[in-house]
């Protein structure tokens, strides 16, 4: 039975500004979704999911209807969203393998917190499509995998999907995204620490808020451009460091300074929150080289750069932080076993 | 015996960027330093000071030496700084009144926290010069008073003084400062609430930090310019509101949004702190229209806009806040009784 895993991602730089054509640098991180698939003799799809919030969730797809366990203690929206992802991923796998009537048993196990802005859905889509096609004897190139996972997200999220998430999950590493162009960057190893406040912002509302500010005030448009300039500086720093080796302290210091600046600009644009700022300060005061919110903001996660255990320890005791973990840059995207 | 009082100030917009020629809008607030002066028959200067940290401080000037009470429980630096201010203010008063050998008894009573970035020294200088010259029968125009108080600050602070603080204290109201040009703005009544974390940043270091960022990164220079643009927008909002009347809710909402944005840009420039951000969020979550650090940052005060008691109450319970008070815009500068 083929198992595929795919990593989640954080934004090192550039979220929100990327909506207006500025570049951004998401990075795959070593927190993975694993999907094991077995081909069935019939055309049915059976899913078993166990992860942070969908533990014990088992659902059987039979044609177009999906019935979740009525005992299930998770919001219906999340179940529908999860089943929607699997349904679309299965459709992509059938299409890629030219097997419209293929049936599957999928087992999903994710260590990426759901709804935290860490790209858990993209990782599940990538791993599911990859494992399902392999169960049919087809191994997709990573670019096609990324594209099909993107279509999966786009179908479920109704237009709000980002190519960056699925590209990151499929290819791994640090990625440069600008418009619809995604490409992998040479980058050193980066010691990320992620703190999660247990919340999640409404991405659509947050993007709309930035858009309104940007349309109303020239200085807000300039702030978006300044984020793009931070990203361009950050890319140069990544390119100057030896790829694949641990980043040295001076590289971490410069990247951390850029992360701090980016966080301030995002705060000006109104997408930070009390708890995100509190976690950012806990990390900085613990000696992190820099810290920023990651993703859309409004709650969710921060990412800090720290090779020591101090940031992790500080966040573990920070009242606003419900989960903290080290998540090194994932140089591998999808991994097949 | 003439008594003069002069108000402290907060920055509604524009601190740090003002160093690079951008406009800023400090506002006098209803927290005052009071100085009562009696002319002596000899040329001696006797000072009695009671305020938040110099309570019970009595010092006699005899020529060029100043002896503080050895029992005094305040840092020597503050005592020297305070005696320095009084010495320079007395020199300005003697010069203005053309009475080089005049002696004075000065009694200083300030309700402005010292070292909090609220312009306590400027207020003391303004009130002291004004009361001392009046004790000699001379009443200075406010512009000259502001200028002489500025020279007092400049002499003591060795070049770091701002014309804005003394101008604000002398004339009151909302002030526009750009380079060495200060002028009063028409402005509505504004319901400021000030929170103080008990700390103080090193203004010189903070200014140097912004300078270094600005020289290193184009996006930091653009951030400074963006602060200037926030200020220019804020000036228009002030000008559009009926001067001297309470600002309406929509004016407060727009000003608050600009304050929030300004705070984010200042955060990007590295001058905010954990405790300043925590107070800013406490104010916003209490329903303030907006909140930002005021002054150089690195610790000290935040200012929020809220006509209700909610922000004051929230800050009173915020762990990072050691002092909180309402401080309406002071439309009168120096007040003579």
pLDDT digits (tens, 9 = 90+) for A301-333: 999 999 999 999 999 999 999 999 999 999 999
Query: Are the beta carbons of B217 and A281 separated by less than 8 Å?
Result: no
User: Looking at beta carbons, which residues of chain B come within 8 Å of A277?
Assistant: 277-278, 281
Facing B277 at nearest CB: one of A218, A222, A277: A277
Closest CA to B26 of B43, B14, B41, B37: B14
pLDDT tens by residue, A183-226: 999 999 999 999 999 998 898 899 999 999 999 999 999 999 99
Concatenate the DSSP letters of all residues of A292-332 into one string: EEESS-SSSEEEEE-SSSHHHHHHHH-TT-SEEEE--B---
Q: Among A153-167, A268-282, B56-70, B222-236, which is the least confidently predicted range? A: B56-70
Span A275-281, average pLDDT: 98
Choose, out of B226, B232, B318, the residue to mutate when testing the contact with A (most A CBs < 10 Å).
Answer: B226
Q: Is the pLDDT of residue A236 over 50?
A: yes
Facing B229 at nearest CB: one of A218, A227, A229: A218
Is A281 in the B-facing interface, judged by CB distances under 8 Å? yes
Instruction: Give chain B's mean pLDDT.
Output: 91
- 3-class state of residue A36 by DSSP: strand
Active site residues of A: 165
Token couple for A76: 């219906």
Query: Are the beta carbons of A269 and B266 separated by less than 8 Å?
Result: no
In chain B, beta strands by DSSP E: 3-13, 25-40, 45-51, 57-62, 65-68, 103-110, 174-178, 181-185, 192-196, 290-294, 301-305, 323-326, 335-336
Span A173-177, average pLDDT: 97
Query: Are the beta carbons of A274 and B266 separated by less than 8 Å?
Result: no
Most confident of A54-63, A78-87, A143-152, B153-162: A143-152
User: Looking at beta carbons, which residues of chain B come within 8 Å of A217?
Assistant: 229-230, 233, 261
Q: Is the pLDDT of residue A72 over 60?
A: no
- 3-class state of residue A135 by DSSP: helix
Neighbours of B146 (CB within 10 A): 29
Residues 215-254 of A with CB under 8 A from B: 217-220, 222-223, 225-227, 229-230, 233
Under the banding of pLDDT at 50, 70 and 90, the label for residue B245 is: very high
DSSP state of B43: S
Under the banding of pLDDT at 50, 70 and 90, the label for residue B48 is: confident
Are B267 and B279 in contact by the 8 Å Cβ rule? The answer is: no
Res A326: pLDDT: 95
CA A118 – CA A168 distance, rounded (Å): 11
Interface A:B, Cβ pairs < 8 A: 99
Residues 111-140 of B with CB under 8 A from A: none
- 3-class state of residue B134 by DSSP: helix
Token couple for B126: 């303004």
Span B9-37, average pLDDT: 96
A165 CB-near residues (< 8 Å, 6+ apart): A9, A26, A119, A121, A122, A153
Closest CA to B267 of B292, B302, B237: B292
Span B272-276, average pLDDT: 98
Under the banding of pLDDT at 50, 70 and 90, the label for residue A126 is: very high
End-to-end CA distance of chain B: 9
Residue A14 region by backbone torsions, left for phi larger than 0, else alpha for psi between -120 and 50, else beta = left
Under the banding of pLDDT at 50, 70 and 90, the label for residue B52 is: very low
Query: Are the beta carbons of A219 and B229 separated by less than 8 Å?
Result: yes
Facing A268 at nearest CB: one of B213, B261, B273: B261
CA A26 – CA A30 distance, rounded (Å): 13
Query: Are the beta carbons of A229 and B219 separated by less than 8 Å?
Result: yes
Q: Is the pLDDT of residue A62 over 80?
A: no
Alpha-helix runs per DSSP H in B103-248: 120-135, 142-157, 163-171, 203-216, 218-240
Res A57: pLDDT: 54
Beta strands at B45-51 and B103-110: parallel, antiparallel or unpaired: parallel
User: Looking at beta carbons, which residues of chain A come within 8 Å of B219?
Assistant: 226-227, 229-230, 233, 261
Res B86: pLDDT: 86
Span A85-112, average pLDDT: 93
Token couple for A125: 């889509």
Are A124 and A110 in contact by the 8 Å Cβ rule? The answer is: yes
Is A260 in the B-facing interface, judged by CB distances under 8 Å? yes
Facing B260 at nearest CB: one of A219, A223, A270: A270
Closest CA to A53 of A106, A9, A110: A110
DSSP state of A129: H
Closest CA to B26 of B5, B47, B10, B6: B10
pLDDT tens by residue, B127-171: 999 999 999 999 999 999 999 999 998 988 765 678 899 999 999
Sequence-separated contacts (24+) of B39-46 with Cβ below 8 Å: B39/B102, B39/B103, B39/B104, B39/B135, B39/B136, B40/B102, B40/B103, B40/B104, B40/B105, B41/B103, B42/B103, B43/B101, B43/B102, B43/B103, B44/B103, B45/B86, B45/B87, B45/B90, B45/B103, B45/B104, B45/B106, B46/B104, B46/B105, B46/B106
Complex ipTM: 0.90
Token couple for B279: 């107070």
Find where tokens 């494992």 sit.
Answer: A131
Q: Is the pLDDT of residue B64 over 60?
A: no
Choose, out of A16, A17, A216, A261, the residue to mutate when testing the contact with B (most B CBs < 10 Å).
Answer: A261
Facing B268 at nearest CB: one of A213, A268, A282: A268
Q: Is the pLDDT of residue A67 over 60?
A: no
**Element of type H or E holding A144:** helix A142-157
Angle at A39 between CA A36 and CA A42, to 5 degrees: 140
CA A103 – CA A122 distance, rounded (Å): 22
Are A225 and B222 in contact by the 8 Å Cβ rule? The answer is: yes
Res A162: pLDDT: 81
CA A258 – CA A254 distance, rounded (Å): 6
- 3-class state of residue B37 by DSSP: strand
User: Looking at beta carbons, which residues of chain B come within 8 Å of A218?
Assistant: 229
Indicate the fold that domain B3-184 takes in CATH.
Ribosomal Protein S5; domain 2 (3.30.230)
CA B337 – CA B334 distance, rounded (Å): 10
Q: Is the pLDDT of residue B101 over 70?
A: yes
Res A80: pLDDT: 62
Give the CA diameter of chain A: 61
Res A60: pLDDT: 61
Res B65: pLDDT: 42
Query: Are the beta carbons of B264 and A264 separated by less than 8 Å?
Result: yes
Q: Is the pLDDT of residue A64 over 50?
A: no
Chain B residue closest in CA terms to A267: B264
Q: Is the pLDDT of residue B182 over 60?
A: yes
CA B215 – CA A9 distance, rounded (Å): 33
Query: Are the beta carbons of B223 and A265 separated by less than 8 Å?
Result: yes
- The minimum CA-CA distance between B265 and chain A, rounded to whole Å, is 6
Domain A192-327: homologous superfamily in CATH? GHMP kinase, C-terminal domain (3.30.70.890)
Q: Is the pLDDT of residue A77 over 70?
A: no
Alpha-helix runs per DSSP H in A158-299: 163-171, 203-216, 218-240, 249-268, 274-285
Chain A residue closest in CA terms to B233: A217
Query: Are the beta carbons of B261 and A226 separated by less than 8 Å?
Result: no
Measured CA distances, B325 to A157, B105, B315 (Å)? 48, 31, 9
Res B275: pLDDT: 97
- The minimum CA-CA distance between B282 and chain A, rounded to whole Å, is 8
Token couple for A124: 């599940």
Res B68: pLDDT: 47
Are A93 and A133 in contact by the 8 Å Cβ rule? The answer is: yes
Q: Domain-by-domain residue ranges, chain B? A: 3-184, 192-327
A222 backbone dihedrals φ, ψ, rounded to 5°:
-65, -35
CA A260 – CA B95 distance, rounded (Å): 50
Span B10-17, average pLDDT: 97
Residue A144 region by backbone torsions, left for phi larger than 0, else alpha for psi between -120 and 50, else beta = alpha
Find where tokens 């599911």 sit.
Answer: A128
- 3-class state of residue B90 by DSSP: helix
Under the banding of pLDDT at 50, 70 and 90, the label for residue B83 is: confident
Is B170 in the A-facing interface, judged by CB distances under 8 Å? no
Are A190 and A27 in contact by the 8 Å Cβ rule? The answer is: yes
Span A143-148, average pLDDT: 96
Choose, out of A16, A17, A223, A279, the residue to mutate when testing the contact with B (most B CBs < 10 Å).
Answer: A223
Active site residues of B: 165
pTM of the entire structure?
0.91
Res B51: pLDDT: 54
For chain B, percent of residues with pLDDT exceeding 70: 89
Res B115: pLDDT: 77
Beta strands at A323-326 and B301-305: parallel, antiparallel or unpaired: unpaired
């Amino acid at each position: 039975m083929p198992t595929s895993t795919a990593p989640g991602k954080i934004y090192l730089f550039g979220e929100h500004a990327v909506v207006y054509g500025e570049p951004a640098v998401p990075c795959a991180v070593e927190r993975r979704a694993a999907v094991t698939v077995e081909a069935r003799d019939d055309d049915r799809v059976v899913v078993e999911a166990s992860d942070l919030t969908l533990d014990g969730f088992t659902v059987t797809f039979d044609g177009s209807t999906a019935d979740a366990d009525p005992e299930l203690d998770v919001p219906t929206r999340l179940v529908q969203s999860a089943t929607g992802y699997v349904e679309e991923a299965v459709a992509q796998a059938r299409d890629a393998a030219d097997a419209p009537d293929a049936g599957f048993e999928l087992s999903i196990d994710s260590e990426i917190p759901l709804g935290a802005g860490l790209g858990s859905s993209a990782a599940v889509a990538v791993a599911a499509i990859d494992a399902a096609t392999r169960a049919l004897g087809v191994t997709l190139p990573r670019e096609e995998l990324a594209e099909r996972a993107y279509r999966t997200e786009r179908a479920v999220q109704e237009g709000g999907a980002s190519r960056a998430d699925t590209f990151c999950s499929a290819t791994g590493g640090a990625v440069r995204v600008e418009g619809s162009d995604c490409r992998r960057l040479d980058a050193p190893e980066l010691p990320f620490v992620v703190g999660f406040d247990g919340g999640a912002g409404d991405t659509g509302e947050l993007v709309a808020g930035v858009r309104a500010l940007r349309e109303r005030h020239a200085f807000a448009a300039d702030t978006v451009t300044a984020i793009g300039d931070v990203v361009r500086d950050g890319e140069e720093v990544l390119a100057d460091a030896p790829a694949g080796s641990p980043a040295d302290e001076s590289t971490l210091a410069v990247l951390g300074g850029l992360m701090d600046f980016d966080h301030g600009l995002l705060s000006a644009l109104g997408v930070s929150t009390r708890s995100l700022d509190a976690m950012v300060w806990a990390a900085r005061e613990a000696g992190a080289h820099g810290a920023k919110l990651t993703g859309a903001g409004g709650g969710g996660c921060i990412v800090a750069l720290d090779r020591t255990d101090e940031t992790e320890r500080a966040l573990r005791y920070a009242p606003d932080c419900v989960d903290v973990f080290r998540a090194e840059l994932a140089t591998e995207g999808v991994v097949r076993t």
